[in-house]
Amino acid sequence: MLVNYSSSEDEESDGGRKRRRSGDEAEEAACSKRGKPGTRNDQTGDLKKQPSRTNESGTTCQGSPHILPVPTSILEMFQEDSVEQAYSHSSRHGGRIRSFRHERGNWATYVYLPYLAESDFEELADRLISAAGAHGISLTRMADFHISLSQTVVLRHHWIEPFVLSLKEALAPFSRFLCVADRLNVYANQEKTRTFLGLEVTLGQDELVHLVGAVDKTLEAFRLATFYQDPSFHVSLAWCVGDYKERLEGLCAQLQGIVHDSEDGGELTRLWAEDIRCKSGNKVFSFQLH
């Protein structure tokens, strides 16, 4: 009996139409495996390329419509403008405004004498804030308490290590001493964008002046701004946005009475200077006094 083989052409069957793979279909499958997808023209039997597409990154691509473009958020995540906006938005910092423009690689740096306040001192600050609020001045308590020994300056990241080493050497000769800050005073920053209520130092000023002289030498070596000519050393208690210096000064006599009433033998306003600290960005360096 002879066997009848079907040809390479399409043929009909009871279940419907079935085909053997033609040469063009084999070529189409091979093209797909090579990463060059094509489509078959039903009328001519020829293969044709899919049209090119351009994604959001500007790259021309061919083939599958399922390739997703790179999200805009990824393309823009390292742009300088977005970093600047994140740091400059005053609403994210309680309304505070930067005194200098943020740039990548710049670290805001300052030197200070820390005051590790106990709950009684915080309660004193809260009483003063409440009294000022009764006169329409809304103050915010400081996140931490300290006496500044420098202005806030800008350090490049690669300067931090040599700056800290220079500061350590400059502060090495100094010994511990006692400060007393018990006189209420009002301060404002140079731009008049923030006002501070603080306790001015009445004992330990000479030692602080000598410390500032040592810190200034390091600042000068790095060509940075030194401290103020006639500094008023103080512990800031609270602050507000705007220039409220005159209004708070008018309340000082009343607020000073709250300080005197709160003191327990003067202990609240005593500060032992045992270490000097330098904060640069999110890094804090401590220098122990002997």
Residues designated catalytic: 146, 234
Element spanning 125, H or E: helix 119-133
- Which of 136, 112, 142 has the alpha carbon at shortest distance from 212? 112
Residue 178: strand pairing partners: 272
> How many CA within 13 A on the CB side of residue 244?
20
Q: Which of 183-202 are b and which e, b meaning 16 or more Cβ less than 10 Å from the residue's Cβ? A: bbbbbbeeeebbbbbbbbbe
One-letter identity of residue 204: G
* Degrees, nearest 5: CA angle 192-193-197: 80
Residue 273's DSSP bridge partners are 177
Taking alpha carbons only, the member of 158, 149, 182, 188 closest to residue 265 is 182
Phi, then psi, of 168 in degrees rounded to 5: -60, -40
Closest CA to 103 of 78, 84, 89: 84
CA-nearest of 280, 272, 276 to 168 is 276
